[in-house]
Amino acid sequence: MTARAPTSLSINLQIISIVFYTFIAFISIGLPIAVLPGYVHDQLGFSAVVAGLTIASQYLATLLSRPLAGRMADGLGTKRTIIVGLSGIAVSGALTLLSTLLQSSPDASLAVLIGARLLLGAAQGLVGVGTISWGIGQLGSEHTARVISWNGIASYGAIAISAPLGVVMVGSSGFWTLGVALMALAGLALLLIRDKPSVPVLRGERMPFWAAFGRVAPFGLSLTLASIGYGTLTTFITLYYLDRGWQGAAYCLSAFGASFILARLLFINSVSRLGGFTVALACMGVEILGMILLWLAPNTVTALLGASLAGVGLSLVYPALAVVAIRTVPSSSRGAGLSAFAVFFDLSLALAGPLMGAIALNLGYRWIFFCAAWLALAGLGLTGWLKRRHG
């Protein structure tokens, strides 16, 4: 008898059991995200700039951890990489708790807290690359887009749940609860992963990170150009609403997030059916339309529609381009390729703030969406050229 092919449901369940660890990592990231600036500014007495730098330290650590994450996933194995990442979250929780005990010495408390943020950022990089590489290794490269899509759903879903939860926890019991929560979450995940079988380490060519970076760079540049719109909307939509004299910026963010996740759920198999280039081109076109509506929006209804279209458009750009990018590196160096590709998304978020802030300062907030649309159009053109060359 021949073995029955796995059903779509069974494949999704296998993926969910792996990206669960991404969910834990992003719950840990989301819990402090809304309350940390206030804690640094109000409780420790530092300026808003220092509060912003404290937040940014985590993202810098994630970016810098990408080469290490790829090297570990390829050389040590995906499960061990995730275990190291989860252990980092536990230590980050302990340092967060310690920082609250040092509150009477603000400088020492801040130093410990920044150390906790750096560890959390590095842990995010390890867990993210480890889970995606594990899922692809277990299910096969034909399910790359599905694994990346579910990983993204786990990430954004965790942030949506944990950010308001963190506000409630700190408001009711204090900032120290976040440190305890991080340790408990990491401990639970480490307990659950202990007996979970991992995929074997693939033997073969070990491509250095920067060699893999060069291979995926053209596709990554397309991702950066498209994803600046993501950073623009999430960073500046509240200020854009205030500038227009509107209420309800939170609803705009909710519309964007809900459309993003819903599109991933509904069209999760489109990349395998239609191809990465085709899906990326279609998604960028929808994103451009959404950004133009935000630029021209005469009222909040149009802005909500623009944000929703932007969410749909941006939902599958990452997995669609990742599928074609990862094909350019050997399977034995998949972790290096995934981590190198992720750098370009990190770069888009890093660029969106200062670039669009400067444009808003000189032209006004509505023009940031016009510029984001033009950048996405450049990404669409580059993707079309890459399709002709590689497709």
166, 193, 220 - which closes a domain: 193
193, 219, 244 - which closes a domain: 193
- Find the radius of gyration of the CA atoms of the chain: 21
Is residue 36 in some structural domain? Answer: yes
Q: What tokens does 286 get?
A: 């929808």
Range of the domain at 294: 209-390
Judged by phi (left if over 0) then psi (alpha if -120 to 50, else beta), residue 321 lies in: alpha
Query: What is the number of structural domains in the chain?
Result: 2
Is residue 382 in some structural domain? Answer: yes
Statement to judge: residues 220 and 252 lie in one domain: yes
Is residue 106 in some structural domain? Answer: yes
Statement to judge: residues 140 and 103 lie in one domain: yes
Cα 96 to chain centroid, rounded: 22
Q: Hey, is 298 helix, strand or coil? A: coil
Statement to judge: residues 225 and 140 lie in one domain: no
Statement to judge: residues 132 and 242 lie in one domain: no
Is residue 347 in some structural domain? Answer: yes
C-alpha span between 151 and 171 (Å, rounded) = 30
Statement to judge: residues 248 and 141 lie in one domain: no
Statement to judge: residues 232 and 304 lie in one domain: yes
Provide the residue-wise pLDDT of the chain in tens; the chain has 391 residues: 445 667 778 888 888 999 999 999 989 988 887 788 778 888 888 876 777 678 778 878 888 888 888 888 888 888 999 999 999 999 999 999 999 999 889 999 999 999 999 999 999 999 988 998 898 888 887 888 888 889 888 887 888 788 788 888 988 988 899 999 999 999 999 999 988 877 766 665 677 888 888 999 999 999 999 999 988 887 788 788 888 998 888 788 788 888 888 998 888 888 888 999 999 999 999 999 999 999 999 999 999 999 999 999 998 999 999 999 988 888 778 888 888 898 898 888 778 878 888 888 889 889 999 999 999 999 999 999 999 988 6
Statement to judge: residues 172 and 236 lie in one domain: no
- Contacts from 267-273 at CB under 8 Å and sequence distance 24+? 267/315, 267/316, 268/145, 268/146, 268/149, 268/150, 269/8, 269/146, 270/316, 271/145, 271/146, 271/316, 271/319, 271/320, 271/323, 272/142, 272/143, 272/145, 272/146
Statement to judge: residues 96 and 187 lie in one domain: yes
147, 162, 193 - which closes a domain: 193
